[in-house]
A = this chain, B = another copy of it.
Amino acid sequence: YYDVHVMIFVGFGFLMTFLQRYGFSSVGFNFLIAAFSLQWATLMQGFFHGMHHGKIHVGVTSMINADFCTGSVLISFGAVLGKTSPVQLLVMAIFEVTLFAVNEFILLTILGANDAGGSMTIHTFGAYFGLVVTRVLYRPNLDKSKHRNSSVYHSDLFAMIGTIYLWMFWPSFNSAITNYGDPQHRTAMNTYYSLASCTLATFAFSALVNPEGKLDMVHIQNAALAGGVAVGTAGEMMLTPFGSMIVGFLAGTISVLGYKYLTPVLESKLKIQDTCGIHNLHGMPGVLGAVVGAVTSALASPAVYGNGLQRVFADGEPGEWNAQSRGGFQAISLVVTLGMALIGGLVTGFILKLPIYGAPPDTHCFEDGLYWEVPGEEEGHHELNEVATPNETEKLNS
């Protein structure tokens, strides 16, 4: 349980500290949203599938589920990072947690889909929800804050704390709510091999797409994790180490290529300003994971899994097993998730667009100084505090 908790707080929190002047907000708001979402998710998930005699049963499983739901909100946070006020983030969390619980209920309870590591429920849902929200909140003049939307040397090292924690604990994350025993063990091993292979692919492609053959820290920080996302659905299946490695390799490759070629296009053509590149880390690898899950489900047979099949698919009597229909339900689940994310993100985005939340002006995005007392003003660390130039402050007040 703590492994998942560590990922949510340390991993996601520090992964976002790469922005040179937004470290306080990245860690601080991550902390605020996580603390809030955990409580709200406990209530919402309890309402949908934990209710007993009018009371919500709380325990380790409900806490892990609340952590998962929080992870989804933090993924969406990555898309709007630097461009939203804490009040907007809390409102987003209220809506996203609620929709997450509804979507999870449809997928796991009604459709009976398998999604232990949350490729669909957590990553795909969180990513596309966040992307639609950031599309609705499109800021045409964001390039006024462009000089702050980049990293400095030490901020990249802080972000690597997040990356390494996420990398290490991802096998636990994916296997946290699988059935104890073989399926759990298999999930952890599959995730582990997928991540290792994904990391090598990321290093290779990061150097390949750079004209000078240099590595890009953004790729290492993010794409190296895509392997964990991509085996989230199929983790319990018999992917074999080799199969996991192929999935991880694909995930790392599409993630690096996404950062290099797709993100600039998304921003210029589709007006999606995706600060952390969540489409590359969570969106595409999440869909890949869902597809892998559907295919492996369609190919699963009692001959391969033996008695283990019942343990993987909770409702499956070996006799009445129908792999094709299982694969179909998995595919329907992906469609439902995408639909929920798009519609939910659209509505939430328009609600967040109301001018009542104190959103930062275009000139002050990616800037801690707007919401935090930033230290060092007397010390001459002017690059961190150049906010307070008189004419900019006037603009703010007007």
Contact = CB atoms under 8 A, between A and B. Distances in A.
Interface-centre pick from A3, A220, A384 (highest chain B CB count, 10 A): A220
A249 B167 CA distance: 34
A375 B2 contact: no
A28 interface: yes
B58 A153 contact: no
A362 to B, nearest CB: 20
A374 interface: yes
Q: How large is the interface on A (under 10, 10 to 19, 20 to 34, 35 or more residues)?
A: 35 or more
Contacts of A32: 199-200, 203
- Interface class of chain A by DSSP: helix
Q: Specify which of A185, A217, A224 lies most central, judged by the most chain B CB atoms within 10 Å of its CB.
A: A217
A6 B168 contact: yes
A160 interface: yes
A221 to B, nearest CB: 9
A177 to B, nearest CB: 17
A24 B217 contact: yes
A373 B220 contact: no
A31 B161 CA distance: 11
Contacts of A315: none
A122 to B, nearest CB: 19
A317 B372 CA distance: 54
11 contacts: A6-B168, A10-B164, A17-B157, A28-B220, A31-B163, A31-B224, A35-B199, A153-B384, A214-B372, A215-B371, A215-B373
Nearest to A27: B160
Contacts of A150: 375-376
Interface of A: 2-3, 5-6, 9-10, 13-14, 17, 20, 23-24, 27-28, 31-32, 35-36, 38-39, 58-59, 63, 86, 147, 150-154, 156-158, 160-161, 163-165, 167-169, 172, 185, 189, 192-193, 195-197, 199-200, 203, 210, 214-217, 220, 224, 241, 370-376, 378-381, 383-384
A282 B243 CA distance: 38
Contact of A199 (B31, B86, B157, B165): B31
